[in-house]
């Protein structure tokens, strides 16, 4: 049986563009309310993939960005979608997008 992480990896392997957790969740038929936990799953998966591939495969992400002022959330301790912009207080935040890179 395939685990959720294996299925996420499969989606990322087939993706041509970076994907948000919403897009990954939709492809895996995960209900919207359960998609937030994908951030943790992807963080774990990223460590496993890098180790198992000997560093030839890597899950990278584009950091979340404020849709209003363009502020980029660069130094997140945990990858997620922040709820509001520290600069302009807007709640229109573009979520991080994940991509699998191969060397
Ligand atoms: Zn902003």
Q: Are 73 and 65 in contact (CB under 8 A)?
A: yes
Task: Please check the confidence at residue 2 and state whether its pLDDT lies above 90.
Answer: no
What is the Å distance from ligand 1's center to 3 Cα? Answer: 37
Instruction: Pick the closest to residue 16 from 5, 6, 27, 30 (CA basis).
Output: 27
What is the Å distance from ligand 1's center to 67 Cα? Answer: 7
Instruction: Pick the closest to residue 3 from 36, 32, 44 (CA basis).
Output: 44
pTM above 0.75, yes or no: yes
What is the Å distance from ligand 1's center to 72 Cα? Answer: 9
What is the Å distance from ligand 1's center to 21 Cα? Answer: 21
Q: Which residues surround ligand 1, an ion (CB under 5 A)?
A: 66, 68-69, 71, 85, 87-88, 90
Domain coordinates in residue numbering, the chain = 4-102
CATH tag, 4-102: 1.10.10
* pLDDT tens-digit readout, 22-79: 999 999 999 999 999 999 999 999 999 999 999 999 999 999 999 999 999 998 888 9
């Amino acid at each position: 049986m395939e685990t959720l992480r294996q299925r996420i990896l499969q989606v990322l392997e087939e993706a041509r563009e970076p994907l948000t957790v919403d897009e990954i969740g939709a492809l895996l038929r995960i209900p919207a309310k359960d998609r937030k936990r994908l951030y943790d799953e992807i963080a774990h998966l990223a460590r496993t993939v890098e180790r198992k591939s000997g560093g030839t495969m890597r899950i990278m992400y584009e950091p979340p960005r404020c849709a209003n002022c363009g502020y980029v959330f660069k130094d997140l301790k945990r990858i997620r979608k922040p709820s509001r912009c520290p600069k302009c207080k807007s709640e229109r935040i573009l979520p991080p997008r994940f991509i699998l890179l191969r060397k």
